Structure 1
Amino acid sequence: MLDRLDKEFAFGREALDVRAYRQELLSSNIANADTPGYKARDVEFSSALAGALKQNGTASNSSTLKMAQPVSLSTSSSLAVTSQGHMSGTSTLAASGGSTDDYGKLAYRVPSQPSLDGNTVDLDAERVQFADNALHFEAGMTVLSSQIKSMLSAITSNS
């Protein structure tokens, strides 16, 4: 029974995981807009989703997807503290979905207007991509919520 529910929500869950991962990349690009030499990165949603579904076996419906893992906190690397007022940064958050290796290779953006300092972030384009991705994430959440409500309605109906 649970495997059928898992298969029902697999596509939506993977789509949301890829959208969330892409949002992290776009946020990183925006945050590093003034960093010299920073190369803007992105992932193509359709190929990343197809790769994630194929990697997890959902594309052929041969097996179920692993359930999304909760966010985990680790203390792997530490930041250099150069002043007494700096906080030591030793905590990092891990992605909540599956492994981001399932989403394919990251691609570097080709800049439309190259910068003299080597930074390839076009802030206007990044903001548009960020808003577009957020809108698609919200639409995916709406569809997934609708599926859950439909299932709950079918389960609780008194016919």
Structure 2
Amino acid sequence: MKLFSNTIHSLEKALDNSALRQKVISNNIANVDTPNYKAQDVSFKNLLSNEMNSPLRANRTNEKHFEFTSSKRLNSQVVTKNDTAYNHNGNNVDIDKEMALLAENQIYYNAVTERISGKFNTLKTVIKGGN
């Protein structure tokens, strides 16, 4: 029996992605003056679109086996941006861009936490019988 819906699972993955993005952005900001440091980014959208375009197939060895459903674990990946250099010391961190990304990610994280909180409040109401 499945206790939580796919929505809660998707929101959980969104929170994981946002937390990873927060770490990467914070690391970029911390290394803004480090010579030859290359900024990093979290690539989830590209990974998701690639996975959605390639269906997962399984070979059943017996017709009594359950039908295989796609339950891939999509994980974000951290990529390093090596193609630019904004400073004379080889560093390519754009502090203004990183601060904007940090604010955007914080708003996204807050929205997802509000949504998952609403889902759990709905479950709590159902468990209590509508009281």
The correspondence for 1:134, drawn from 97, 100, 106, is: 106
Aligned counterparts of 1:158 and 1:129: Cα–Cα separation in 2: 40
Q: Between the two proteins, what is the percent identity of the paired residues?
A: 29
The alpha-carbon distance between structure 1 residues 37 and 114, as it changes in their structure 2 partners (threshold 3 A), is same
Match of 2:88 in 1: 116
Deviations 1:99-138 (A, max 9, x none): xx92135141755x72100000111110010010011001
Aligned counterparts of 2:42 and 2:6: Cα–Cα separation in 1: 25
TM-score, structure 2 normalization? 0.73
- Give ranges in structure 1 of 5+ residues lacking alignment: 66-100
The alpha-carbon distance between structure 1 residues 26 and 132, as it changes in their structure 2 partners (threshold 3 A), is same
Larger RCO of the pair (alpha carbons < 8 Å, separation 6+): 2
Aligned residues of 1:23 and 1:130 also touching (Cα < 8 A): yes
Larger radius of gyration: 2
Aligned counterparts of 1:158 and 1:123: Cα–Cα separation in 2: 49
Question: Which 4+ stretches in 1 moved above 3 angstroms?
Answer: 60-65
Aligned residues of 1:7 and 1:64 also touching (Cα < 8 A): no
Deviations 1:25-67 (A, max 9, x none): 000000000000000111234335x27x87xx9xx964497xx
Match of 1:81 in 2: none
* Number of aligned residues: 116
